Structure 1
Amino acid sequence: MPVPGASSRLSTLSLPHTTVDSVVDDPGDDTTPASCRVQLTVTHPPAGDRVTVWVHLPAETWNGRLQARGGGGFLGGSPDSLLEPLRNGYACAATDAGHPGPSADFALDARGRLDWQAIRDFGHVGVHDMTVAAKAVVTAYYGQPPAFSYFHGCSTGGRQGLMAAQRHPADYDGVLSGAPAINFPKMQVGQIWGQLVMLERRNPVSAAKFEAALAAIVEAHDLVGDGVRDGVIGDPLAVDPDLGALVGLPTPDGPLTETDVEVLRLIGQGPRRRDGSFLWYGLAPGVPYAGLHDTAVVDGELVGQPFVFDLWWIGLFLEQDPAWDWRTLTRESFEALFDRSVEMYSAVLAADDPDLSAFADRGGRALVWHGAADFGIPFQGTVDYYERVRARLGAERTDEFLRLFLAPGVGHCGGGGGPQPTGQFEALVAWVEHGTAPEELLAVGTGADGAVRQTRPLYAYPGVARWTGEGDPADAAAFTRAEGTRLVPPAR
């Protein structure tokens, strides 16, 4: 329960470089409890920036905990994400990370120069500002600090959570990080690799051809990992498809050509330097090509349609030219852009530091999950990070505070043909508060009517779920844990 007069006291709350913009007592409704909703603005003089923070406080149903929610893409976060945790009794917080809306135009100031304060706010400063402000608001409203603090995010939100664990290990007791964009400077340039491949070979590939190739790859390797023919590759790290066998594959747009298949091979291989050395991970077998490798007929000609985030990243952050024309890309300029991205932005936007010892030392726990059919953020990059943490801190110590789950057939933060992970946040809370380390999660597949059609266990990496050969393969009880394939990071 709040202390008497708490809402009015919040209006005069004093925090460094922070303004309380509004304090609203919301009466709630049939689905949402009554709450006090606070908006604050944090600045960093003399930069002139503005980080907006939202904190929602259950008036009578507080469970004693704080849950912060992250953003997605170039969106730092939104108060819309706070309804679920509020309904579950959490004091909850979100931030715009220094800029409103989901676009990347904050990268440049009014003169067209890089706005480094705005970039730092998005990279890591805004989330820490939110955390400090939210804990102060919670303490002032309830008369006590939260007993436990959690961060919950996917994609950009996943990056924000692991960034907090690395930079401010005392901020959160538990971090749930889904499909984390932790390798942001590498990933964001790497996403346009497939478009460059098609551009260089003057061979854009139609959606129908990509879909036919994907279906053939999945059909050929459907049994790998789980032993079940279900339209999902159960252990994509174990698959090395024979793409040459796809030449001549019939599609609505004609048979796949040798050049089409070479494009598929290079997309799967991932970004490479001109000498063939590794830059970043490509599209794993079974991952849809749509999204990053879109093409369209324009004036009667099939042409590439790059992902807008990549155009923003290269045009604004790297070239400082909103009119940058991606069709000028060459292998040489791609390599230079990749190196520039890593050099300029790793220190502010990457969350790939494997030294999580401070977070572990104070009892922090991190549950990371990633869909193995994620078109946007290669799940191999997340596995790569996990393996580097393990190499840095040792397998036994890593297991004490960090677990990774891969979800076969699941897309970016959800969706896709595989059963969807459930209960990740509840598993994290049980780990933090009761010491119950998560060994498995339940994935659930539903039909169009919402009815459950399939359940399956997800085991902590490198475990995979394998059908026992007995029982209903649509029932999680018919599966057991098997040792999956470990990622072998390429030489850098």
Structure 2
Amino acid sequence: MKPAVLLSTLSLLFSSALAKKNPTFERRCSKLTESFNAADTDILLAEYVPQGTNMTFPESATTSCLKFSISLADMCRLRLNVTTSGTSSVIVEVFMPTTWHSKGKRFLMTGNGGLGGCIQYNDMTYGTSLGFAVAGHDNGHAGDVGLPFLDRPQAVKDYAWRALYTAGKIGKSVVNHFYPSSINKSYYMGCSSGGRQGLKAAQEFPEEYDGIVSAAPAVYFQSILAASAHVFKTTGAPGSATHLTQDQWNAVHQMVIDQCDGIDGVLDNVVEDPLKCQPRPEALLCGPGQTWASDQCLTAEQVLTVRTVYSPVYGNNGKLISPRLSPLTKEFIGYPVMYGGVPSYISEGWYKYALYNDPTWTIQNNFTWDTVDYDMQQDLFGVETAKTDLTDAKNNNTRILMYHGLSDCLISSENSYRYYESVSRDMGLPSSQLDEFYRFFPISGMDHCYSGDGAWFVGGSVQYGPAGALDVDPSDSVLMTVVKWVEQGIAPDTLMGRKLVDGVVTGAKAHCKHPLKTTYKGVGDPNLASSWECRTV
């Protein structure tokens, strides 16, 4: 659904809600500027927001962050500035709906993305539609850029973990102050950098959350940065012999589908298990006298680019830096970041401003494998997020649900397999015992966090918006799935996904938890969940 259509639909849907009044709730909300006090905290805004209101955000005026979001509940909105050090602070937003008591008295913390300066307002409004009191934060700086890290190590510390911890603490304090009764259960949901934040919480302060949803987590953070820089050094800038245009990468994607789609037993433009897919890009190689313009083929240099990008990344002394990227590149959420012939703003922003504090540093001129070694040695404030002993989370009964799209063009889904298996080995727990508190769901046909050719819509972080479907029953969404696990003891064996075309559901699939494989039964419409089952091979 297009943004303008979505806005019009929601405005009509919620127009009647604008007339609703709850005088006591509204008064309590407006008086928060006087009644709520916390150390090192300034209240910037306290206002009642009726359902259907088009909210705009002050940090968005000069940044790449979301410009507006439509409230999906009558709620109280509180905006705070929390000082974290003499040179750093965090902006925190808290949305508290009128339905909180009747919907379970739950708290939800949301994550960030990229370099982490944008509050995920759509995740927040979605949470309030389900009755959660929801908090979000800017991770210690405005905008998804690295410049605020320059000569400000405390801002880097906020990004690595402190902003999340601080926002969670103050958010819970606000909620417990505002409502007459206290929070029943606390949850976290985030994707990409937000997925990393969720696992950071599981590793370092699991007592803060009863349930954590971590999607496409950017764990092994330095490895991901290195892989992105390596892709740019491999593809080169537009016009170079090694560079591929977006149309050429689309042809590569189709080549992968042609070679690997049938492995899972059904031709549906989705590779169910990319681990089994070893594409041969030489199939696109131009013969003598052939060109892309006339024959839709690639030069030998371009074929080598594809093979290099779809291979594991090794650094100094043959050290494995990162698994290969997914060999599926159609959706190109990450084309400008990964394949477009410019350095990743995430990688370059980190190296330039956080690691080296040198505005003249560039990936083009300065990146080597020594850069990666130095970054890993420094591991600023533990941002790598690679701790695999989750004993504290297990003992706290924190439930961790991790999922990753298998068509992710930014963060290799093999990264999540790598982390899961490392946790299993290091804790000495086979999957049957790890299942008690930590489950991983690979999602075929999902790109980075959202979109794709498969049943990618699981009701997760950043999936609600122009590309998502607000009218899908949320009862089996990933958020409510982890709620059922925490509060009813119903552990998920599958995670329901929907295939969306222009916001309309056209198919469904119950994605199996690892290490089981989502397997076509051999008969039936592949767009029906009933045509698939979980098997050991």
Query: Residues 4 and 255 from structure 1, CA distance in 2 versus in 1: closer, same or farther, beyond 3 angstroms?
Result: closer
Alignment partners' CA distance in 2, 1:92 and 1:438: 24
Give 1:311-460 correspondences, 5 Å limit: 311-329=348-366, 333-345=367-379, 347-393=381-427, 394-395=429-430, 396-422=432-458, 423-448=477-502, 450-460=503-513
Q: Secondary structure at the match of 1:212?
A: helix
Question: How far 1:292 moved relative to its partner?
Answer: 4.5
Runs of 4+ residues deviating >6 angstroms:
1-5
Q: State the SS of the aligned residue for 2:113.
A: coil
Q: 1:232 aligns with which of 270, 282, 285?
A: 270
**In structure 1, what is the Cα distance between the partners aligned to 2:356 and 2:389?**
32
In structure 2, how many angstroms separate the alpha carbons of the residues matched to 1:20 and 1:79?
Answer: 20
- Equivalent position of 1:20 in the other structure: 43
Match of 1:58 in 2: 97
Cα separation, partners in 2 of 1:53 and 1:248, compared to 1, 3 Å: same
Check 1:198–1:5 CA distance in 2 against 1; reply closer, same or farther (3 A cut).
Answer: closer
Q: Deviations over 1:253-298 (max 9, x none)?
A: 4532332222222111132125444211222322457344434xxx
- Which residue matches 1:74? 115
The answer for the alignment partner of 2:527 in structure 1 is: 474
Distance 1:252 1:206 in 2: 11
Task: Give the distance between the partners of 1:456 and 1:28, measured in 2 at CA.
Answer: 32
Are 2:335 and 1:282 equivalent residues in the alignment? no
Give the one of 167, 180, 205 matched to 2:204.
Answer: 167
- Contact preservation (8 Å) 1:218, 1:285: no
Which residue of 2 is the match for residue 488 of structure 1? none
- Give 3-state SS (helix, strand or coil) of 1:73's partner: coil
Q: For residues 234-259 of structure 1, give each alpha carbon's deviation from its aligned partner in whole angstroms, at most 9, with x where no partner exists.
A: 11111222344443387734532332
The match for 1:44 is 84
Matches within 5 A, 1:127-142: 127-142=164-179
Distance 1:12 1:60 in 2: 22
Which of 80, 84, 87 is residue 129 of structure 2 equivalent to? 87
User: Which residue type is aligned with residue 34 of structure 2?
Assistant: S
Name the Cα RMSD after superposition.
Answer: 2.5
SS at match of 2:314: coil
| Structure 2 length-normalised TM | 0.81
Aligned equivalents of 2:248 and 2:52: distance in 1? 50
Residue pair 1:272, 1:279 contacting (<8 A) in 2 also: yes
The one-character-per-residue Cα deviations of 1:362-419 (angstroms, maximum 9, x if unpaired) are: 1100111111111111111111111111112202331101111111121000112122
Deviation at 1:183, TM superposition (A): 1.9
* 3-state DSSP of counterpart to 2:522: coil
Aligned equivalents of 1:451, 1:35: Cα separation in 2: 28
Bigger CA drift: 320-329 or 66-75? 320-329
8 Å Cα contact 1:291/1:376 also seen in 2: no
Q: Could you tell me whether the CA contact under 8 Å between 2:328 and 2:409 is conserved in 1?
A: no
Q: What is the rounded CA distance, in whole Å, between the counterparts of 2:372 and 2:206 in structure 1?
A: 30
Match of 1:490 in 2: none
Q: Is 2:160 the partner of 1:123? A: yes
Query: Are the counterparts in 2 of residues 235 and 408 from structure 1 also a CA contact under 8 Å?
Result: yes
CA distance 1:22–1:453, shift in 2 (3 Å): closer
Match of 2:303 among 253, 261, 266: 261
Query: Which AA in structure 2 matches 1:264?
Result: V
Q: Is the 8 A contact 1:193 1:270 kept in 2?
A: no
Q: Secondary structure at the match of 1:145?
A: coil
> Which digits, 9 at most, give the CA deviation of each residue in 1:13-68, with x for residues without a partner?
332322333322334458643322222222134x2311111112123544211011
Contact kept, 8 Å, 1:99 with 1:106, in 2: the verdict is yes
For residue 43 of structure 1, give the secondary structure of its aligned residue in structure 2.
Answer: strand
More helix by share: 2
Please tell me whether the aligned partners of residues 74 and 156 of structure 1 are also in contact (alpha carbons under 8 angstroms): yes
Cα distance change of structure 1 residues 256 and 3 upon mapping to structure 2, 3 Å threshold: closer
Give the letter aligned to residue 259 of structure 1. E
Q: What TM-score results when the alignment is normalised by the length of structure 1?
A: 0.88
Name the SS for the 1:204 alignment partner.
coil
Aligned residues of 2:241 and 2:302 also touching (Cα < 8 A): no
SS in 2 for 1:149: strand
SS at match of 1:214: helix
Deviation at 1:435, TM superposition (A): 0.8
1:294 paired to 2:348: no
Q: Structure 2: how far apart are the matches of 1:451 and 1:39?
A: 35
Identity level (%): 26
- For residue 532 of structure 2, what is the amino acid of its counterpart? F
Change (3 A) 1:60 1:457: closer
| 1:262 match: secondary structure | helix
Structure 2 unpaired stretches of 5+: 1-21, 54-70, 459-476
Q: Give CA-to-partner distance per residue, 1:444-474, whole Å, 9 cap, x none.
A: 11333x4332222200012222221222222
Runs (5+) with no aligned partner, structure 1? 296-303, 485-492
Q: Distance in 2 between matches of 1:419 and 1:322?
A: 42
* Residue 77 of structure 1: how far off its partner (Å): 4.2
Q: Secondary structure at the match of 1:16?
A: coil
Residue 371 of structure 1 contacts residue 413 of structure 1 at CA under 8 Å; is this kept in 2? yes
Give the Å deviation of 1:159: 1.2
| CA shift in 2, pair 1:293/1:123, >3 Å | closer
Correspondence for 2:18? none
Q: Give the conservation status (yes or no) of the 8 Å contact 2:26–2:76.
A: no
> Are the aligned partners of 1:292 and 1:375 in contact in 2 as well (CA < 8 Å)?
no
| Alpha carbons of structure 1 residues 481 and 59: separation in structure 2 relative to 1, 3 Å | closer
Distance 1:284 1:36, change over 3 A: closer
Q: Is the 8 A contact 2:189 2:198 kept in 1?
A: yes
Look up the SS of the partner of 1:269 in the other structure.
coil
Distance 1:244 1:27 in 2: 58
CA contact (8 A) 2:520 2:526 kept: yes
Q: 1:89 to 1:196 in 2, by over 3 A?
A: same
